[in-house]
Structure 1
Amino acid sequence: MPAYTFPVNIDDIKDAHNRIRSHVYRTPVLTSSTFDQEYGAGRKFYFKAENMQKTGSFKARGALNAILMLERTKEHIKGVTTHSSGNHGQALAWAANMKGLKCNVITPKDTPEVKIRSITHYGADVTLCEPTPTSREETCKKVAEENNYDSVPSSDHYHIIAGQGTIALEFLEDVPQLNAILVSASKGGMASGVAIAAKALKPDIKIFIVEPDEKELEKCLRAAMRLWPDPPRFVDTIADGIRIQQLGNLTWPIILNLAEKEVLTANNDEIIKGMKFACERMKVLIEGAAGAAVAAAMSSRLQQIDDSLKHVGVVLCGGNVDIDNLPWYK
C-alpha cells in the first residue's frame, strides 16, 4: 500500500482543542469495577462519557470547530445546513445559534422525535426527507443552493475530523496507559479524528472500530477496497447514529491506514445489553451507537484478537435516546 499523507494532523487537532475548549465540556472518564469483573478477563476499561457533552454527543466538538473555521475563512456566511440522523444536526444547530447564524437541518422522516425537538430548540429549521442516504444528500444540496447556505457535513470534512480528534487528546491525558480505544463509526469522522490524535500521541495504541451488523467494514479493510454496494444504504439497526453502511470518502483512507483490520460488530440484542448495563450499573443513559461500543467491550472477540491489551478505552459517543421509546420495551 502506498504511503498515505494525512490531511489532518495532531497540530490541527490541538488547534481545534484550543479553539473549542471554552465552549464544550471536558467530559469525564468513567470506570466500573463490576464491568471489569464480569467482562474484563484481566483488562480494565475506561469510558469517555461523550453522552454528557453539549447537545448530548461528541458531535458538538466537530460542529463548533467547523463553524469557527468557516468564520475565519469566509467574510459573509448567510447560514449553514447539513443532513443528519440527529446528533450532528443538534450540534450544528447549537453551534450556529451560538454564532448567530441561520441553520437548516435535513433529517430522515424516521428520526427519533427527541432529536428533532432538540434541533428546533436550538433555533434551527428542520426539513424532512426520505430515510435513505441518497435522499439526505439530494435534499441537503437543494436547501444549500436555494438559501445560499454553506453545507457542513457530519463526518466527511477535515475541520469536523479535527474537532472530533479532541476526544483522544483528553482521553490520553486522563488515561495515558491506554493500550486501545474502541470507537463506533458511521461515516467515520469521530473514528478518524480519534485515530489520528491517538496514534500521533502513542504510536503503538490500537484503534478498533465498532459497527452494527451488515456494515461489513472488516471485509473492506482487509481487502483495502470499498466493497460496499451503491447506492449507499442504511443498515437495519437500533443504533440510528451509526446506520450508514459506507465510510466517507475522506475518512475511509484514514481508517484504512490507522485502525486495526479487526472490526468489532454488535447486533441489536447486544447493543441493548450494552445500553442496559450502562443505565443499570453505571447510572448513565446512552444511545444505541454508544451501546454498540459497550457491547464490543463485553464481547470475547477483543480478548481473542489481542489478550495483551490491559487498559482499553471506550467512547460513549452519545446519550440522545428517546426515553419514551427505549428499545428493550418494544
Structure 2
Amino acid sequence: MSSELVNIKKIKNAYNRISKYVHKTPVFTSSAADKMTGRKCFFKAENLQKTGSFKVRGALNAILALKEKNPNVSGVVTHSSGNHGQAVAWATSVAGFPCSVVVPEYAPEVKKTAIRGYGAELAECGSLPTDRNVVCDKISTEKGYVIIPPYDHEDVIAGQGTVALELLDQVPDLDAILVSVSGGGLSSGIAIAAKAIKPNIKIFLVEPEGKHMEKCLREGKRLWSDPPKYLDTIADGIRLEQPGQLTFPILTQLVEKEVFSLNNDEMIEGMKFAFQRMKLVIEAAAGAAVAAILSDKMKKMDPSLKHVAVILCGGNIDIDHLPWY
C-alpha cells in the first residue's frame, strides 16, 4: 500500500517543493529526559514550524502540487480541528488561491482566529466527524473548490513525511521515533520515509486513551465506531477516533504493534515538562508524545533502543486556557 500511494521518491519531491517556504525545525535534547529514560532523547520541534505545527508541510505540498497540475484552480476547501486549517489557509496565501476552512464548534478560539488571520473564510460545523464532510462538500459544490483533506491524501502524506527526512539527516543514528496519531498523515508519512532510509528503525504511535490503535494494528482491522466519533481528551489535535482509509494500511504495515495510550493527566505532565525543563510551548497532542517517552512503558522497552526521537507535533495552545488551570 505505501509503495503504491507514497514512497520515498514522492517524499523527497515534496521536500524539494516546500523546503524554501517552511522551516527546517531544530532538534532539541534534554539531559533531564535522558536521565529519566536511560536513553538519549531527541525532540523534533515542529511546534516551531510555520503556523505552529507540522501540518503546513502536507498542506503546502498538496496545494503546490495542485497548482502545478491546475494553475487555474478556483480555490480550495478543507476541514480541520485547527492546525490543518491554519496550514491550508497559510499555504493558499503562498499559492495565491482563495480558501475556506470548515472547523468544528469546539475548535479553540486561538486556532480559529489564526485561520482568519491567514485570510481564509471560516465555516463552523457541528461536533461530529460527519458534520465536517457535509459542510466541506457543500462549499466545494457551491464554489467549485478542490477539497484538500487533512490526512487521507497522498500529497499530504508525502509532505508530512518530510519531517523524517530532516530528522534522520539531523540525527542519523536514531533507533526509534515516537509520534502522536490522529488521522495518520504524519505517522504514515514518517513511517514511509524513516523505514526507507533506515529499515530497522522502529516507529511507535502515541494516542489518547480510548482510540484502541494497538488492537486494530494487531488484528489488521478497522475496529472503530461507524460513523467515527471524537474522543474525550484535552488533545484537540488527536481527538479523531480512527485514522484514514489510506493511512491505516500504511500504519499496519510499517509501525510497531505496541502503542502508547495516554490520559489527560499524563499529557499535562508531558506539556509541563516541555514548558518547564525545555522552555518549549507545546500543545496537548505533543504533550502526549513527551509523556510517552517518559513513561514506565518506555523504561521497560528494549534497552537497545538507545536513541529515541519524539515529534513535538504542534504548539498551538490557548495560553489563556491552559489545561492545568
TM-score band (shorter)? over 0.9
CA distance in 2, matches of 1:308, 1:168: 21
**One of 8, 15, 18 as aligned partner of 2:6:** 8
Structure 1 residues 174-323: aligned runs within 5 Å? 174-323=170-319
SS in 2 for 1:327: coil
How far does the alpha carbon of each residue in 1:184-216 deviate from its partner, in whole angstroms, 9 at most, with x for none? 110000000000000000000000000000000
- 1:237 to partner: Cα distance: 0.4
Q: In structure 1, what residue type is equivalent to 2:13?
A: D
Q: Which runs of 5+ in 2 are unaligned?
A: none
Structure 1 residues 67-86: aligned runs within 5 Å? 67-86=63-82
CA distance in 2, matches of 1:218, 1:229: 15
CA distance in 2, matches of 1:85, 1:325: 17
Q: Which runs of 5+ in 1 are unaligned?
A: none
CA distance in 1, matches of 2:211, 2:291: 16
Structure 1 residues 27-38: aligned runs within 5 Å? 27-37=25-35
How far does the alpha carbon of each residue in 1:106-162 deviate from its partner, in whole angstroms, 9 at most, with x for none? 001110000000000000010000011010111111111111100000100000000
How far does the alpha carbon of each residue in 1:23-55 deviate from its partner, in whole angstroms, 9 at most, with x for none? 000000000101111x21x21110000000000
Aligned residues: 325
CA distance in 2, matches of 1:213, 1:89: 25
- 1:304 to partner: Cα distance: 2.5
Residue matched to 1:105: 101
CA distance in 2, matches of 1:128, 1:10: 36
- 1:98 to partner: Cα distance: 1.3
Q: In structure 1, what residue type is equivalent to 2:29?
A: T
**One of 19, 38, 41 as aligned partner of 2:17:** 19
Quick check: 1:162 aligned with 2:163? no
Quick check: 1:124 aligned with 2:117? no
Q: In structure 2, what residue type is equivalent to 1:72?
A: E
Q: Which moved more, 1:4-13 or 1:233-242?
A: 4-13
Q: In structure 2, what residue type is equivalent to 1:186?
A: S
TM-score, normalised to structure 1, is: 0.97
TM-score, normalised to structure 2, is: 0.98
- 1:56 to partner: Cα distance: 0.2
Contact 2:67 2:95 in 1 (8 A): no
Cα RMSD between the aligned structures? 1.0
CA distance in 1, matches of 2:273, 2:2: 39
Residue matched to 2:60: 64
Q: In structure 2, what residue type is equivalent to 1:108?
A: P
